[in-house]
Amino acid sequence: MDQLSTFIALLERHTGADGSHESALPGVTLIRASAPTLPMPVIYEPTLCLVGQGIKQASVGTTAYRYDPEHYLIASVELPVMGWVVAASAEAPYLCLQLDLDMQTLSELALRHPTPVGRAPATGLALNRTSDELLGAAIRLLRLLDTPGDIDALAPLTLREMLYRLLQGPSGSLLRHMARADSRLNQIARAIVWIKTHFREACRIEQAAERAGMGRSSFHQHFKAITTMSPLEYRTRLRLQEARRLMVSDALDAANAGFSVGYESPSQFSRDYARVFGLPPAKDAARLRAG
Q: Over the stretch 230-258, which tens digit does the pLDDT of each residue have?
A: 999 999 999 999 999 999 888 899 999 99
Helices 281-290 & 266-277 angle (0-180, nearest 10) = 50
Kindly state the average pLDDT of the residues 271-289.
91
Query: Kind and range of the H or E element at 97?
Result: strand 94-100
pLDDT tier for residue 202 given thresholds of 50, 70 and 90? confident
**Tell me, what's the pLDDT at 283?**
93
**Tell me, what's the pLDDT at 112?**
86
**Residue 274 scores a pLDDT above 90:** yes
Give the count of alpha carbons within 13 A of 221, CB side only. Answer: 6
Domain 3-179 and domain 235-290, same fold? Reply is no
Q: What angle do CA 166, 170, 172 make, to 5 degrees?
A: 55
Kindly state the average pLDDT of the residues 213-240.
90
Kindly state the average pLDDT of the residues 68-72.
97
Cβ-count burial 208-245 (b if 16+ within 10 Å, e if not): bbebbebeeeebbebbbbbbbbebebbbbbbbbbbbbb
Q: Is the pTM of this model over 0.95?
A: no
**Tell me, what's the pLDDT at 272?**
95
Query: Kind and range of the H or E element at 98?
Result: strand 94-100
Hey, which CATH number is domain 235-290, 3.40.50.300, 1.10.10.60, 1.10.760.10, 3.60.150.10? Answer: 1.10.10.60
Closest CA to 240 of 265, 191, 277, 205: 277
**Tell me, what's the pLDDT at 139?**
97
Count of CB atoms situated within 10 Å of the CB of 248? 17
**Tell me, what's the pLDDT at 123?**
74
70 phi/psi in degrees, rounded to 5:
-95, -15
Paired with 50 in beta bridges are 97
**Tell me, what's the pLDDT at 181?**
66
Hey, which CATH number is domain 3-179, 2.40.50, 3.30.70, 2.60.120, 2.60.40? Answer: 2.60.120
**Residue 38 scores a pLDDT above 90:** no
**Tell me, what's the pLDDT at 182?**
67
Q: Using an 8 Å Cβ cutoff, are 80 and 280 in contact?
A: no
Calpha distance 153→183 (Å, rounded): 33
Kindly state the average pLDDT of the residues 39-53.
92
More confidently predicted of 47 and 111: 47
**Tell me, what's the pLDDT at 1?**
64
Residues 6+ apart with CB under 8 A from 224: 230
pLDDT in tens, 95-115: 999 999 998 898 888 888 887
SS (H, E, C) 30-91: EEEECCCCCCEEEEECCEEEEEEECEEEEEECCEEEEEECCEEEEECCCEEEEEEEEECCCC
**Tell me, what's the pLDDT at 195?**
92
**Tell me, what's the pLDDT at 113?**
85
Calpha distance 139→52 (Å, rounded): 10
**Tell me, what's the pLDDT at 179?**
79
pLDDT tier for residue 291 given thresholds of 50, 70 and 90? low
Give the CA radius of gyration of the chain: 20
**Tell me, what's the pLDDT at 204?**
83
Calpha distance 262→201 (Å, rounded): 6
Question: What mean pLDDT value characterizes the chain?
Answer: 91
**Tell me, what's the pLDDT at 122?**
61
**Domain coordinates of the chain in residue numbers?**
3-179, 187-232, 235-290
